Amino acid sequence: MESKPFSTPTRPATVIIGTQFGDEGKGKLVDYLSDKYDIVVRYQGGANAGHTICFDNKSVVLHLIPSGIFHKDCVCVIGNGVVIDPVALLDEIRKIEELGYEVKGRLFISHNAHLIMPYHKLLDSLHETAQGDQKIGTTGRGIGPSYEDKFARKGIRVVDLLNMKVLQEKLRENLESKNKLLKNIYERDEIDVETMLREYAEFDKIIDPYITNTQLYLNQKLKEGKTVLLEGAQGCLLDVDHGTYPYVTSSNPTSGGACTGSGIAPNYVGKVIGVVKAYMTRVGNGAFPTELFDETGEALGRIGHEFGATTGRKRRCGWIDLVALRYSLAVNGVTEIALTKLDVLDTFDEVKACISYMLDGREIHDFPTDHQTLSRVTPVYTTLKGWMASNANARSFSDMHPEAQNYVAFLERELAVPVTFVSVGPGREETVFR
């Protein structure tokens, strides 16, 4: 019998992930690349994300809608892995429409995505307050409680909005246990089912046209030869499996999550672009080996405007951590790096990079994901000469100051992954593509 030729899968999907603690500049990169892709998909997280896009003298922060929305030919999908707060979603749709961009017909929302209900947001903040010093420092967007219900198989999904009877039943069931918690543990007023049902019936009217079987849709489009950009939220070190547990978010921002959170199979994925900030930041609690508590840390935060795009909280700042990055690049299978915020280092006479850790008098090169161990390491730095010159106008690698080029070459050598983009400012055009 004649054997069939082996068909090689095409790889039209690219994943963009944060390699650090989030806020690496994923939004900027996704927006920059969106005109080269047909579809942009968010695959996990929810309105805890804050992705900033700067174009035409505007700065817009997106929390739920993919960062391709400002490219008129680009279709945006909110995948099954996302947890959706309808209030945040409608607010965002309105904001985008006010800027003159059509959303209807360009945004598809997975019928399998879970909803964030008002009680999720309430329980998120009540739980955090009760934790005192031990709190995670969540964004308060109800992310954890919503994913808890998803994995406990009690969650309310977008598809449930299409059937009021099902919604009513599920809501009653959920509120029964949530109200017990609110009343008996947190001494709060109970939530009324009917009021909430009325509110969600209103959402349904608006959200209905966007609801789609996105797994099916995406696979059809891939078969037709369309290209897809998968937009990660948060970052590898906040991943519930691979991050600094328990100081993490409740989803998988890593590249594997792009498949489960969208329904796109791994063999469609070619490139995995890891977004690396030229230094490190973290919002919320948890270990951060290279955190600086001095004037240098303050300067990084001041020059880099390091305030959370979602909560406005001050971000903790420190030098780049190559131990954490090597781990992150491996876990995500990063094929190329987009280096962001290089311009923030323009005024430093020296730039440091953590190349290993000391732990109990021993030098270690592997990233401990166990929080207790990670909290005890101290960074070992190598120091590079700063460039003390602006790279803001650089549009090609050769335009960059030689010492800035040297920093990029150093990172490539240490991380063994090519840097294909260097971002030298928040604007769309402030990008060097190599």
DSSP label of 133: G
* Candidate list 50, 81, 286, 368; residue touching ligand GDP; CB under 6 A: 50
Binding residues for ligand GDP, how many (CB under 6 A)? Answer: 22
Residue closer to ligand IMO, measured from CB, 40 or 143: 143
Instruction: Please select the residue that binds ligand GDP; options are 23, 38, 160, 321, rule is CB under 6 A.
Output: 23
Within 340-369, the residues that bind ligand GDP by CB under 6 A are 340-341, 343-344
CB 83 within 8 A of CB 143: yes
- 3-class secondary structure, 351: strand
What residues numbered 54-93 form the site for ligand GDP, per CB under 6 A?
54
Among 15, 30, 49, 259, the residue binding ligand IMO under the rule CB under 6 A is 49
Task: Print the binding letters for residues 243-272 with ligand GDP: x by CB under 6 A, - otherwise.
Answer: ------------------------------
Q: Which stretch binds ligand IMO (CB under 6 A): 137-145, 271-279, 296-304, 391-399?
A: 137-145
Q: In this structure, how many other beta carbons lie within 10 angstroms of the beta carbon of residue 79?
A: 28
23 is catalytic: yes
Give the residue from 313, 253, 254 showing the smallest Cα distance to 128: 313
Nearer to ligand GDP, 23 or 321 (CB): 23
Question: Which option in ligand IMO, Mg ion, ligand GDP, none does residue 144 bind, with CB closer than 5 to 8 A by kind?
Answer: ligand IMO
46 touching Mg ion, by CB under 5 A: no
Residue 52 as a binder of ligand GDP (CB under 6 A): the answer is yes
Contact between 215 and 257 (Cβ < 8 Å): no
141 interface partner picked from ligand IMO, Mg ion, ligand GDP, none, CB below 5 to 8 A per type: ligand IMO
The interface partner of residue 25, options being Mg ion, ligand GDP, ligand IMO, none and the CB cut-off 5 to 8 Å by kind, is: ligand GDP
CB of 260 to ligand IMO, least distance (A): 17
| Of the candidate residues 39, 136, 237, 317, the single one contacting ligand IMO (CB under 6 A) | 136
d(CA 422, CA 418): 11
Residue with tokens 């968010």: 42
**Residues in region 309-328 near ligand GDP by CB under 6 A:** 309
Q: How far is CA 1 from CA 4, 219, 252, in A?
A: 9, 32, 45
Alpha-carbon gap, residue 243 to 246, rounded angstroms: 8
Q: 76: which residues sit within 8 A by CB, 6+ positions away?
A: 39, 40, 41, 42, 65, 66, 68, 69, 106, 107, 108
* Greatest distance between any 2 Cα atoms in the chain: 74
DSSP 392: T
Residue with the two structure tokens 């990172």: 411
Look at residues 144, 71, 149 and name the one whose alpha carbon lies nearest to residue 114: 149
Kindly report the backbone phi and psi dihedral angles of residue 363, in degrees, each rounded to the nearest multiple of 5, phi listed first: -85, 130
Q: Is 51 in the active site?
A: yes
Asked if 233 touches Mg ion (CB under 5 A), the answer is: no
309 lines the binding site for Mg ion (CB under 5 A): yes
The answer to whether 17 contacts ligand IMO (rule: CB under 6 A) is no
Burial 213-229 (b: 16+ CB within 10 A, else e): bbbebbbebbeeeebbb
Contact 344, 304 (CB under 8 A): yes
Contact track, ligand GDP, 395-424, x by CB under 6 A: ----------------------------xx
Tell me which stretch binds ligand IMO (CB under 6 A): 64-72, 175-183, 217-225, 233-241.
233-241
Annotated active-site residue in 31, 38, 51, 71: 51
Query: In the complex with ligand GDP, which residue's Cβ is closer, 110 or 340?
Result: 340
Size (the chain), residues: 434
Q: Give how far Cα 210 sits from Cα of 106, 114, 204, 370, Å.
A: 9, 15, 10, 41
Q: Hey, which residues are catalytic here?
A: 23, 51
Q: Where do contacts with Mg ion occur on this chain (CB under 5 A)? A: 23, 50, 309
Q: Where do contacts with ligand GDP occur on this chain (CB under 6 A)? A: 18, 22-28, 50-52, 54, 305, 309, 340-341, 343-344, 423-426
Q: Where do contacts with ligand IMO occur on this chain (CB under 6 A)? A: 18, 21-23, 48-51, 136-139, 141, 143-144, 233-235, 238, 249-250, 283-284, 309
